[in-house]
Amino acid sequence: MSRQSSGSKWVAGLLVVAIVAVVGVFVYREKQARDAAQPLPMPPAASSTAAVASTVADVPRHPIDTPAGASTAALPSLGQSDEAVLAALLALSGDGALKSLLRPEAIVSRMVATIDALPRHTIGMNVLPLRTPTGTFQVQTDDGMLVESSRNFARYDTYMYVADRVSPQAAAAWYKRNYPLFQQAYRDLGTGGYFNDRLVEVIDHLLEAPELKGALQLLPEKDGYTYANPAYEQLSAGQKFMVRVGPVNEAKLKEKLRALREAVAGGATSVETHPVR
């Protein structure tokens, strides 16, 4: 974790901000400040049998249905979609808070690239759909060890405010209507398979993030801090963010993610979460 926000990798991606205007979920950058110029991500190495099946399947495991009453107007091309997408996302959030966070260029492509990369350990700064938060990462001493300060949670307030205001059902309806744009952006990454299958996999991955039962010890390093517990240090970028926002915010995000999964995949997830020891 970097001491400066410029050394942080975030995404409050549209799953809970605009995925839940379609996914994002915030991602913390960790100590990889030196990798900030990383290129757009290549297709991820499959981390499970399910991921492999999603990539090579001829038939989607989670097909997208057209929402009842959806507009029949033609969609813009992916390269010309930013204006319409931005207007729709701002309407979903209901005020200007999301506009202050969102990068207005290549919105769908950024969302897709970020969502696809959440299960990895790093995400390129140049693909994030949302701006990074301001402020400095703060630590404190607890029983003789360094831990994250609870004052850091305030840095997430605007992101959580937007997430709270976005209805997963409304976001899912917008997503389904615009799904061809997301599928095109996913293919542009060089992947096979279907983006909605990948989205469901990523949601399940985030729901598996451990839930903290106490403070985690941090170890200082040149570019910031690492977790003393290897089980936490080896978590993906997406799961580390879920842990880092704190138990209250993590519970709220998981509630949103479960509702979103229900809307885009059908059927409640059976994923259980447990503390990592």
103-127: pLDDT as tens digits: 889 999 999 998 999 999 888 777 8
- DSSP class of residue 136 equals B
Q: Does the pLDDT value for residue 7 go beyond 70? A: no
**Mean pLDDT score, 180-194:** 94
> Considering only CA atoms, which of 31, 23, 25, 22 is closest in space to residue 11?
25
CA–CA dist 88, 86 (Å, integer): 5
Q: Residue 188 has what pLDDT?
A: 96
Is residue 16 a contact partner of residue 24, using CB atoms and an 8 Å limit?
A: yes
Residues 134-170: tens digit of each pLDDT: 778 889 999 999 999 988 888 888 888 888 887 777 7
Token reading at 57: 């399947």
**Mean pLDDT score, 240-249:** 86
Q: Does the pLDDT value for residue 205 go beyond 90? A: yes
**Mean pLDDT score, 244-262:** 87
Residues 44-99: tens digit of each pLDDT: 444 444 444 444 457 899 998 766 566 667 899 999 999 998 888 888 777 788 88
Q: Residue 200 has what pLDDT?
A: 94
Q: Residue 147 has what pLDDT?
A: 94
Q: Residue 198 has what pLDDT?
A: 95
Residues in the chain: 277
- Helix, strand, coil in percent for the chain, rounding step 5: 45, 5, 45
Report which of residues 2 and 221 the model is more confident about.
221
Token reading at 188: 């542009």
CA–CA dist 89, 236 (Å, integer): 27
Q: Does the pLDDT value for residue 273 go beyond 50? A: no
Q: Is the dihedral of CA 38, 159, 258, 207 positive or negative?
A: positive
Q: Residue 68 has what pLDDT?
A: 59
Rounded percentage of the chain residues whose pLDDT exceeds 90: 31
**Mean pLDDT score, 25-54:** 38
CA–CA dist 135, 133 (Å, integer): 7
Q: Residue 39 has what pLDDT?
A: 43
For residue 146, give the H/E element and its range: strand 145-148
Q: Residue 217 has what pLDDT?
A: 94
Q: Residue 1 has what pLDDT?
A: 57
